[in-house]
Structure 1
Amino acid sequence: MTVRIRKYSWQLAPRHIRNIRQKVFVEEQKVPPELEWDDTDEIADHFLAVLPDNTPAGVARLFSTLGETAHIGRMAILPQFRGQGIGETLLRHLISESAGQYQELKLSAQQHAIAFYQRAGFHVCSEPYDDAGIPHLDMRCLGPGLLNPQESARRPYPLILGADTQSWLFDNERSMLDLMDSMVGQAGKRLWLYDRILDHDLYDRHRFRELVSGLARRHRLSEIRLLIHDDQPLVKRRHQLVELMRRLPSRIELRLVNNDYPCEDQPFMLADQEGVVFRHDFDRASGFAAFTDSGRARLLAESYQRMWDAGRRSLELRELPL
């Protein structure tokens, strides 16, 4: 079905937007009116999905309070139009609208709709919680700029660890960072990283540090390994991962490659048992990411383990003050 999406400010929004939310959330789902109508409406962009004959079918809103992060909310399709792909069209429009502006999208999903949002590239990032008497989970997409319509159309679960079965090729730093962050954000226990140095542009970023910190605290058996050739850049300049490692020494460990033993000449990152981000060389943002490739992940893990066992600890980092 052909659907058109129209964008409005709250001040100029047609009554259809309020009517659809009233019918779906307040009347159908029994959300208290004082929770449905809030001040966020004033700062949000509002989207209305209409059919070819201009019949209103669905709504959503998009707003940002943190600069790089945007929030999708109040997404609703009228009962008689559900199951026809209108919600998917509306969501993909919101992703496209955000791609050039925001590095991250967040939303609060009703539990029954988790798979719907996963098919659009969102992954779960919280435990279940109650909102207006309805079970919800927080979800996010860490690479909206990657999800162009062509990519989304051929991937049933884009960017989802353990479900996206097709590799992503990248040849620029922005795409590589989005793929790295998407991988780390979904890792449950294991993150193994191998590189020449912990380059500040790649790894000394606030978002990356927060994702690694979340993984380190998520599970008591979390294992984060950083294997590098040279620690001197870390000694000369403070690094967020090093500070995090020294605060969580039982979860995060760094070793230096022993050059007397064979070592890989291409950097890579492994997430859990199946996620891989592989670069063709140390100096270029060129390579591929695979969210479901247990065979390649196993082979690289075996090589990593050999390098790790032969590696040594950094004495200079240990002596640095916090």
Structure 2
Amino acid sequence: MTVRIRKYSWQLAPGHIRDIRQKVFVEEQKVPPELEWDDTDEIADHFLAVLPDNTPVGVARLFSTMDETGHIGRMAILPAFRGQGIGEALLRHLIAESAGQYQELKLSAQQHAIAFYERAGFHVCSEPYDDAGIPHLDMRCLAPTLLAAQAGSGRLTPLQLGKDPQSWLFESESGLLELMDSVVGQTSQRLWLYDRILDHELYDRGRFRELVSDLARRHRLSEIRLLIHDDQPLIKRRHQLVELMRRLPSRIDLRLINSDYPYEDQPFLLADREGVVYRHDFIRPSGFASFADSGRVRLLSENFQRMWNAGRSSLELRELPI
């Protein structure tokens, strides 16, 4: 169904926005009014979906926080218009609105709607919790710009680890970072990283550290291996991953390549048994990411294990003060 999306501030928003939220959340879902109407409305952008004849059918809001994160909320479609693609169109519009503006999108999804948001490129990042008597889970999208560029490509489960069968190509650092974060953010246990150095632009970032830290602390059997050629840049300048490794030595380990043995000429990152981010060389941000490629991951894992077994620990990093 064709819809148009209109954007308003709360001060100039038409009454239709409040009416739809009142009908869906307060009357249908029994959300207490004091929880539905909050101060966030004043700082958010509000979106109204209307049919070609101007019939209002759905709403959503979008606001930002200080960490370059956009938050989507209060998405609602009137009962008579559900199942017609209006929610998908509204969500695609919000993602397009966020492209180039936010590095990350977050939302709180009702449990029954998880698959809907997964089809749009969001993944679960919390345990279930209760909100206004309704089971919810937090979800995030770490590649809104890539998703917006891929709109209409026909991907059924974009960016979903273990579910998205199509590879994603990248030719820029921004594309590499979005794909790398999306893969790492869904890793449940094993993360293996091979590169020439732990480049500060790629790996010494607050969001990447957060994702690796979450993985290291989430699972008692988590295994994070960092395999590099040169540790001197890490010794000369503090690095967030090195500091994290020294605080969690049983979960994160780093080794140096033994150049007397064969080694790979292309860097890569492996996530669990199916995710891979592969670069064509150590210099350029060019390559591909796959979220469901167990065959390639198996082959690269064997190569990684061979290099890891021949590698050595960094004595200088071990002696650095925390």
| Range class of TM-score, shorter chain | over 0.9
Match of 2:193 in 1: 193
Inter-partner Cα distance in structure 2 for 1:193 and 1:286: 16
Unaligned runs of 5+ in 2: none
Alpha-carbon distance change, 117 to 152 in structure 1, aligned in 2, over 3 angstroms? farther
Do residues 64 (structure 1) and 60 (structure 2) align?
Answer: no
User: 1:148: how far off?
Assistant: 2.4
Inter-partner Cα distance in structure 2 for 1:99 and 1:65: 15
Inter-partner Cα distance in structure 2 for 1:221 and 1:152: 39
Contact 1:193 1:270 in 2 (8 A): yes
The AA in structure 1 aligned to 2:115 is A
Alpha-carbon distance change, 151 to 167 in structure 1, aligned in 2, over 3 angstroms? farther
Inter-partner Cα distance in structure 1 for 2:95 and 2:151: 12
Let me know the Cα RMSD of the aligned residues: 0.7
Do residues 277 (structure 1) and 281 (structure 2) align?
Answer: no
Match of 1:224 in 2: 224
Q: Given the two structures, how large is their TM-score scaled by the length of structure 1?
A: 0.99
Matches within 5 A, 1:23-34: 23-34=23-34
User: 1:154: how far off?
Assistant: 1.6
Q: Given the two structures, how large is their TM-score scaled by the length of structure 2?
A: 0.99
Contact 1:274 1:297 in 2 (8 A): yes
Q: Deviations over 1:251-304 (max 9, x none)?
A: 000000011111001000000000000000000000000000000000000000
Q: Deviations over 1:22-45 (max 9, x none)?
A: 000000000000000000000000
The AA in structure 1 aligned to 2:278 is F
Contact 2:92 2:151 in 1 (8 A): no
Match of 2:16 in 1: 16
Alpha-carbon distance change, 152 to 257 in structure 1, aligned in 2, over 3 angstroms? farther
- Indicate the percent of aligned positions where both proteins have the same amino acid: 83
Equivalenced residue count is 322
Matches within 5 A, 1:85-234: 85-148=85-148, 150-234=150-234
Deviating above 2 A after TM superposition, structure 1's stretches of 4 or more consecutive aligned residues are 148-153
User: 1:166: how far off?
Assistant: 0.2
Match of 2:53 in 1: 53
Q: Deviations over 1:194-217 (max 9, x none)?
A: 000000000000000000000001
Inter-partner Cα distance in structure 1 for 2:163 and 2:137: 19
Q: Deviations over 1:143-172 (max 9, x none)?
A: 100012644532101111011110000000
User: 1:4: how far off?
Assistant: 0.2
Contact 1:276 1:297 in 2 (8 A): yes
Alpha-carbon distance change, 289 to 89 in structure 1, aligned in 2, over 3 angstroms? same
Q: 2:238 is paired with a residue of what secondary structure?
A: coil
Q: 1:154 is paired with a residue of what secondary structure?
A: coil
Q: 1:215 is paired with a residue of what secondary structure?
A: helix
Q: 2:288 is paired with a residue of what secondary structure?
A: strand
Match of 1:305 in 2: 305
Inter-partner Cα distance in structure 2 for 1:151 and 1:92: 8
Unaligned runs of 5+ in 1: none
Contact 1:58 1:75 in 2 (8 A): yes
